[in-house]
Structures are given as C-alpha cells and as structure tokens.
Amino acid sequence: MTASSTFQDALVRVRALAELANIDLEIIEGLLHPKELIMVSLPVRMDDGSQKYFSGYRCRYNSILGPTKGGVRFHPNVNEDEVKALALWMTIKCAVIGLPFGGAKGGITVNPKELSPMELERLSRVYIRVLADFIGPHRDIPAPDVYTNSRIMGWMMAEYDSIKRTHAPDVITGKPIELGGSLGRDDATGRGAYLCALELIRKMERALTDISVAVQGFGNGGYHVARLLQQAGCKIVAISDSQGGIYAKKGFDVESLWQEKQRSKHIKGVYCNGSICEMVEHESISNDELLSLEVDILIPAALEGVITKDNAHGIQAKAIIEIANGPILSEADNILHSKGIKVVPDVLANAGGVTVSYFEWVQNRSGQTWTLEDVQQKLKEKMTAAFEAVWDLAENEKRTLREAAYIKALRKISAAVEAHGTHNYFNG
C-alpha cells in the first residue's frame, strides 16, 4: 500500500475507535491533526566533492502527555504521510504503556547502503543542525528506527551538544552505552513482544513447548523475539526477510540462522556449532506463503500493510503479535476477528523499544546507571501490566485487543485534554 493510504488508514482506525470509546468529538478532531510537521532539505558534501540534497522530516503529533518521543528512520520510502502515521501510532503507544510522552517520528529519504560512513555521518549531523530548535530533552526526543543505530544517535547527540554549547545526553535515546545509552536497549523491541507472547500463551492455557511460531522479518525485532521464544521452549518453524523465507516443521535454531545471515546476508536453513555450519532439511517459501502457514503464533516484524482484506481469509495462525508498525490494515481486522484470531496490536506489542528509551531518558536526567537486570525487570513490569490492562478491558467490554488498546490510550489522552477544558466545560 502507499504511504499516503497508511496515514489515512491510521486516521480511519483512530476515528472509529475513538467513537467506540465515546470520546468527545472535539478531542477526536484534535487527534486527526498533527501538532507540528517540518520538512527540510539537507545539503550533504559527498566524498567525491559534489553536493547532494536529501529530504528530511520530523512530526510532533501530540504532546498532551509530555514531550514527544519517536525514532528517526533512513529509508528510500520515507515521506510526509508515513512520518505522520508513525507519529500517530507512537502517540497511542506511549499512552497504552503509560509513559509521560507524546508521539513523534522523523526520517530522511535515503538509501543509507549507498552512502559511505563519512557521508552517513555528515547526513546525520546536518539533520540535527537543521532541526536543533525543533527537538530537545523537554520538547522532542529522537531515537533509532529503520536503518539507524546507536552510532548514528551518538553523532546526532554530539551535533546537538555542539550547537547548544551544552551536554544533553537526554536529548537522544538509543545511544552507545559509552555515551549515556541504556543497557537492554538493543533487544528491547523484541523482548517486549516476547513478554506479550508469554502472557498471551498463558491466557491460551498452552505449554510453551507446544507453541509453533512463524516470524516474517528477521531484523533486530524479529531476531530477538524469535531467539527469546525459542529459548523459552517454543518451536520457530518459519522465518523470512525481504528475499523470501524458510520453513521446517521440526523448527530451527534461531542463533544459527542469525549467524548465517550476518555472514552471507541470506537466510539459510543451517545449524551452526561454533564456526562449522551444516544445512538442515527445510523448504523455501515466499513471504506470502509464510503468512498463511498453520501455526500457533504469527509475528509480522517487517513492513506495514502486509495483511489486507485480500489475504486475511488465508491466515491460519491462532494468534498474531504485531512487531512491525501497522502490518494489518483496518480492512482486515474484522476478517481476522471473525476467524477467531487474537491480535496483539503493534501499539502494545512493539512498545518495548520506546519503554527502554524512556528508561534511558530517566537515567540521563537523574545521572543514574541501571543494571541490565534492573532494565529487564522494569520492562517486564511495564509490558505485563499494560498487557493485563488491555486484556481485562477487552474481556470486560467485549472488545478485540486492538480496540481495547486504543480505547485505553484514547481515554488517557481524553482525560488529559479534558483537564484543560473542552467545549462541554466552557459551554456549561
């Protein structure tokens, strides 16, 4: 689907669920419009001496609950509508988890694989140079996203410090540990989804060793959730990336697949013992075939809009846990619900990343350094509490988990807006 329709689809879902939650129309209208959106041109001196221009974006969608928070992605498809949709989802996500943040998102339209390391650094720094007055520890806090990492966040923080003539580690999260980053940030998104999966499996009253899992997308989030679920006893029977996937009924050793992907840049059915890897029996499948496998849990961890009204009828998983942002279109939700498929929505399932980013921000502001065990325990407490609250709301009000998550978030946002006064208050 197009990025433009991604944002429109997000608005359709918000409007429908806000009306379902009986949210004041004035508040609904406010949620349909981003607070601030900036588009900038970024001049970069290339290694060959030429100057090239890149388009950059940053959207602060809603700040009623606190300073806005959201990642920065480097990708050829980044555009205004995608950034707005992602910032809206982040607004909902922070409210679901109970973080004192609003939602934001940013990005640059670029294929970072085509840039040298020095060109990438120049691009990262000029992005902050142009947006230095748009962000800040009390205003808007960027973080890593697609094709950005801790090193890039370190460059961005250094540029901000240079411009503002200060040391502000709390302006950026997802930084290197040595520059004020938090332990536990590297696997936070996958670990958060894993914690949701554990809660869901417990609700299903199933043994972990009886659970089969298919993961579409083998980046950071997909790898870590697959790794953790396998360690817990689940069987990871299928994994794919943009080039296709593999399937084995007996399951795979996730760490071996990850090692092979780092070595060859391809997903292959292997088992590795140290540096020695040998092929294991498996089938090659497409991403579409992976989505329709008969498994207990399907985890879309790649792109938005992969499950639509056209393929939703073919989904055979008993449950879906969304790690990607917006992998299921609103038009497919009712189909999945009619099939009895439980969906743990992205605004809950992939919130581990922003939650540990919040922990990093707190540590930076207080001058503390938490242990890995502290971070993981606090993440577990946040994720399981949010999951239980969403599950209970869904059960008590006869809603899907997505409806319950949005209703919980929208009621929290609504209460904050109403504290300032709405039409109903001012009209007596």
d(CA 117, CA 157): 17
- Give 246's contacts (C-beta < 8 A, 6+ positions apart): 238, 239, 240, 252, 257, 267, 268, 269, 282, 283, 284, 285
Beta pairing partners, 231: none
Cβ 279 vs Cβ 269: under 8 Å: yes
User: Is 185 in contact with 378 (CB distance < 8 Å)?
Assistant: no
The encoded tokens of residue 218 equal 């083998």
Cβ atoms of 350 and 189 within 8 Å: the answer is yes
Q: Which residues are catalytic?
A: 105
**Local structure of 206: helix, strand or coil:** coil
Shortest CA distance to 135 belongs to which of 109, 180, 168? 168
Closest CA to 215 of 325, 301, 87: 301
